[in-house]
Amino acid sequence: MANTTQFVYGFGGGAADGSKEMKSLLGGKGANLAEMSTIGLPVPPGFTVTTEACNYYSQRGHVWPDGLEAQVADGLKNIEATLGRQLGDPDRPLLVSVRSGAAQSMPGMMDTVLNLGLNDDVVEGLARESGNERFAYDAYRRFIDMFSAVVMDVHHDHFEHALEEMKMRKGVTEDLSLDAGDLRRLVETFKEIYREHTKSAFPTVPKEQLRHAINAVFGSWDSARAVKYRQINRITGLLGTAVNVQAMVYGNMGPSSGTGVCFTRNPSTGERLLYGEFLVNAQGEDVVAGIRTPEPIAEMADTFPGPYRELLDVTQTLEQHYQNMQDIEFTVQDQKLYILQTRNGKRTGKAALKTAVDMVAEGLTDRATAVMNLVEPGHLDQLLHPGFKDDTGYSDRVLASGLPASPGAAVGRVVFSADEAEAWKATGEKVLLVRIETSPEDVGGMDAAEGILTSRGGMTSHAAVVARGWGKPCVAGCGSIAIDYKAQQFTSPDGQTVKKGDWLSINGSSGEVILGAEELVPAELSDEFATFMDWADEFRTIGVRTNADAPDDASQAVSFGAEGIGLCRTEHMFFEGHRIQSVRKMILAASEEDRRAALAELLPYQKADFLGIFRAMPGMPITIRLLDPPLHEFLPHDASGMQEMADLMGVPLKTVQTKVADLDEFNPMLGHRGCRLGVTFPEITTMQARAIIEAAVELHMEGVDVLPEIMVPLIGTVEEFVNQKALICQTADAVFAEKGGTVDYLVGTMIEVPRAALTADDIAPEADFFSFGTNDLTQMCFGYSRDDAGKFLPSYVERKILPDDPFQVLDQRGVGQLVRIGTERGREAKPGLKVGICGEHGGEPSSVAFCYAVGMDYVSCSPFRVPIARLAAAQAELAAQA
């Protein structure tokens, strides 16, 4: 049976087989060429070979599917009929371009051949017809160069070299100074270069040339650079590239021709002004290659007034039609304008917001479309953090790359210890803290540093979580640098050494580590930001809270639109000032009585913390989690630290050493932590519950609206929860009796142990709320240690064993099932149960969309990701409505 699949879609002459919705089949370029043809824009006729055909070619050993040959022939006939020209006919020559175009743009990654169809006869015909011999031979030499490079892998440099030699011989510097005779000779030289490298003559049959070029574009999909580009940009799930074969129009026909690119608005600022460049008497690649300097597009108004006016009309039509800023390629051939490409323009965060707000004000689009399509969550990230002034200019200084753990750019002098970071900061220095990994003991130095670089640890490592919470740039898990604390230096993979005091820059958005001090530009929140975020909130139905441990962070998050706290980790409060001594006393206590005494010292500190946080967010729910980490995290591990502690506490060094050894665990993350601490040391839970409830009652009695939600970590069985809840409720009753007043409070649990998700129907009747701790849930579902996964996860992602780091992007297929099951079983047992997420995924757009789909009440994330979560949540809602 004949294959009836349509592999070729024609366009041009006011009609098209495809449309802009067909990007996955026709690629972005092909779909938009079809769309532009249909709406009557001047698009040279052509056809698009589908991504399915490319997929077939690459999967089936480089053969074409049945039917493609005939369909390409028909496609070509249609172009020929539209223009009254023929491929290979010297009297009425048709030349075509052959260009790649995948569903997602991959700039410069795949290949293009222009002027296809030329041979020794056709070039003569083209010269006769155009009356311009120079033009014809110029087109021919470009074609041989491009065809050789793209199809036969003959390096472009060989041709470039021959061109330079010719110019030298002639004593000229510009290509345009070569005359027709020169170019004719150059063509012969180029053919020789081709023969020398391929051991065959340059193909003269145009249809053969076309077949080769289509195959080369298909093949470019699997080229090493294209594969790498897709990996870096996480482009997955595409079939291949489409191939666009289109009648040539010539910007290089003489002074009344030219070629250009333009944006309908300024892509850096969003200003509504045609922005771009134009080059007279040139073909597209001259603009890209930067050989000649193009003129600003506005100058076309004088030199090409007719085409310029038409271009202005086209840009308006396109913006109206696409309801988005467009990036357009065009050619003027003998004063006639042709549009060769349009696509949504890539823009900065600033431009994205201005464009969105302006386009709504101009009536070009509505708020819902603006929220859905005109700003990406990543754009907001750019605005909230400082960036590098020139974020493309430092590539030759990149020493290494790690995980982009906390976005933004930072510059400082390298120090290797937290103490030094603090000391240098105190003298006015800007520092970057470089550590193998960080621990809670380092928070002072982390705070003092401009940014943090670690060689170990993943996206939920201590450094990453703390840095994100503060909005401080951090590159984590940069395993390719070797840090030597003793020598106070680190070495990059290519052997460069960076010593203490050297200037270093990090890009926390990309993970790059850059030698030297790059220039920074500060974060900038425009008026449009507030307007746009208000619009996002109009559509959002899921709440957005923040993870914050301190009043300042809470206030910052409120200014970014947080509606409460979804996770206040109380352990961070144990490190400040002198508290750590009381904490250590508590840990060293030989009896329950001693432990209670030490905890009593901590109580006022904890209470003061909670007063601060409640005050920073009056009337908003505040989820406070009881102590979670294993106790050994609070003890010093080096000899001098232990001695210092022994001296301070007045105990023999041996006592401290024994305790440190006692608390050592093989798998601390699976050990004595979370509610297991509260079960074995109930007085810790009691002290924390008392601090929370005392603070809440006092404020409530003062008239401040407080909504405390006490959260028990690491529950695996309902019995654990019931045990802890009883302690909390008894403590609350005692405080109410003492104070002569009450306050409403909730007691809920984290769901972060897989067993808790599976037995959610047991737990829910006892709990006031669930909050998914997807950091631990991911750790325990995969069995990947949060702290060690940085050693292998990057290779897993590179080898496509995992699509993403599951500590960054929620693994919906696996961990997601636990979240879904936990939510469903919980709500079956307790209809209306409040459910949220407080793992790091709560600020990652695709994970936010998943939480929305599961039906959560809120997501919670670090303060600087609150706007991102708000937008992602609005987009999830709008996508569901569409």
Q: Which residues bind ligand PEP (CB under 6 A)?
A: 460, 567, 569, 628, 752, 773-776, 838-839
- How near is the Cβ of 818 to Mg ion at its closest, in Å? 14
Kindly determine how many residues on this chain lie close enough to bind Mg ion according to the rule CB under 5 A: 3
The rounded distance, in Å, linking the Cα atoms of 112 and 110 is 7
Helix axes 682-702, 592-616, angle to 10 degrees: 30
CA distances from 44 to 159, 339, 676 (A): 29, 8, 71
Minimum distance from residue 848 beta carbon to Mg ion (Å)? 19
| 709 versus 752: smaller Cβ distance to Mg ion | 752
Instruction: Determine contact, residues 547/842, Cβ cutoff 8 Å.
Output: yes
Q: Which is nearer to ligand PEP, 220 or 775 (CB)?
A: 775
Query: Would you say the C-alpha torsion 769, 774, 775, 778 has a positive or negative sign?
Result: positive
> What does 71 interact with, of ligand PEP, Mg ion, none (CB < 5 to 8 A by kind)?
none
HEC letters along 626-671: CCCCCHHHHCCCCHHHHHHHHHHHCCCHHHHHHHHHHHCCCCHHHC
Q: Report how far residue 331's alpha carbon sits from residue 681's, in angstroms, rounded to the nearest whole number.
A: 76
Among candidates 538, 508, 532, 535, which has minimal Cα distance to 520?
A: 508
Cα 725 → chain centroid:
41
114 or 751: whose CB is closer to Mg ion?
751
Q: Which is nearer to ligand PEP, 113 or 810 (CB)?
A: 810
Q: Report the alpha-carbon distance of residue 53 to residue 440 in Å, rounded.
A: 55
The one of ligand PEP, Mg ion, none whose footprint includes residue 98, by CB under 5 to 8 A per kind, is none
User: Which of 212, 385, 462, 632 is labelled catalytic?
Assistant: 462
**Least separation in angstroms between CB 711 and ligand PEP:** 10
Strand 503-507 to strand 336-344: parallel, antiparallel, or no bridges (unpaired)? unpaired
Q: How far apart are CA 45 and CA 85, in angstroms?
A: 12
CB of 708 within 8 A of CB of 622?
yes
Three-class SS of residue 514?
strand
First to last CA, the chain: 39
User: Are 263 and 327 in contact, with CB atoms under 8 Å apart?
Assistant: yes
Quote the least distance from Cβ 841 to ligand PEP, whole Å. Answer: 8
75 versus 773: smaller Cβ distance to ligand PEP: 773
Q: 362-367 contacts: CB < 8 A, separation 24 or more?
A: 362/272, 364/319, 364/320, 364/323, 365/323, 365/324, 367/535, 367/538, 367/539
Q: Which is nearer to Mg ion, 26 or 751 (CB)?
A: 751
Report the residue number, 46 or 458, with the smaller CB distance to ligand PEP.
458
At closest approach, how far in Å is the CB of 846 from ligand PEP? Answer: 17
Question: By CB under 5 A, is residue 776 in contact with Mg ion?
Answer: yes
Tell me, yes or no, if 462 is annotated catalytic: yes
Active-site residue, from 568, 675, 838, 851: 838
Q: Which residue is nearest to Mg ion (CB)?
A: 776
Q: Which residue number, 752 or 811, has a Cβ lying nearer to Mg ion?
A: 752
Which of ligand PEP, Mg ion, none does 816 bind, CB closer than 5 to 8 A by kind? Answer: none
**C-beta of residue 355 within 8 angstroms of C-beta of residue 327:** no
Number of helices (H), then strands (E), in the chain: 34, 34
In whole angstroms, how close is the CB of 690 to ligand PEP at the nearest point?
22
User: HEC states along 807-836?
Assistant: CCCCCCCCHHHHHHHHHHHHHHHCCCCEEE
Q: Evaluate whether 399 touches 518 at the Cβ level (below 8 Å).
A: no
Tokens of 424: 């240098």
Which residues share a beta bridge with 284?
none
Task: Check if 321 is active-site.
Answer: no
Nearer to Mg ion, 645 or 715 (CB): 715
User: Shortest distance, CB of residue 716 to ligand PEP, whole angstroms?
Assistant: 13
Min dist CB 590 to ligand PEP, Å, is: 29
Q: Which residue in the set 240, 773, 806, 843 belongs to the binding site for Mg ion (CB under 5 A)?
A: 773
Q: Which helix (H) or strand (E) holds 604?
A: helix 592-616
Binding partner of residue 838 among Mg ion, ligand PEP, none, CB cut-off 5 to 8 Å per kind: ligand PEP
> How far is 293 from 175, CA to CA, in rounded Å?
13
Min dist. Cβ of residue 870 to ligand PEP (A): 20
Q: Whole-number minimum distance, CB 750 to Mg ion, in Å? A: 6
Q: Is 752 in the site for Mg ion (CB under 5 A)?
A: yes
CB count, 10 Å around CB of 592? 11
* β 93-94/112-116 pair status: unpaired
What is the token pair recorded at 195? 């023969």
Pairing of strands 858-861, 834-837: parallel
Q: DSSP alpha helices (H): ranges in 131-222? A: 133-152, 156-170, 180-198, 206-220
Report DSSP letters for 20-43, one per residue. Answer: GGGHHHHHHHHHHHHHHHHTT---
Which span sits near Mg ion by CB under 5 A: 247-255, 469-477, 749-757, 795-803? 749-757
Q: Which is nearer to ligand PEP, 101 or 773 (CB)?
A: 773
Nearer to ligand PEP, 284 or 839 (CB): 839
Q: Which two tokens stand for residue 849?
A: 């969309």
Amino acid (1-letter code) at residue 431: V
The CA distance from 636 to 624, in Å, is 26
| Partner interacting with residue 630 (select from Mg ion, ligand PEP, none; CB below 5-8 Å by kind) | none
Q: Which is nearer to Mg ion, 127 or 567 (CB)?
A: 567
Give the DSSP H/E element, type plus range, for residue 406.
strand 403-406
Minimal distance in Å, beta carbon 488 to Mg ion?
34
Which of 287, 554 has the CB closer to ligand PEP? 554
Binds 774: which of ligand PEP, Mg ion, none (CB < 5-8 Å by kind): ligand PEP
Sheet containing strand 242-247, edge to edge, reads 15-16, 8-12, 46-49, 242-247, 96-101, 112-116
CB of 781 to ligand PEP, least distance (A): 11
Q: Which does 331 bind (CB under 5 to 8 A by kind): ligand PEP, Mg ion, none?
A: none
The one of Mg ion, ligand PEP, none whose footprint includes residue 329, by CB under 5 to 8 A per kind, is none
Partner that binds at residue 567, options ligand PEP, Mg ion, none, CB closer than 5 to 8 Å by kind: ligand PEP
- Min CB(674)–Mg ion separation in Å: 7
Helices (H), 650-748: 653-663, 675-680, 682-702, 718-739
Binding-site ranges for Mg ion (CB under 5 A): 752, 773, 776
Residues known to be catalytic: 462, 838
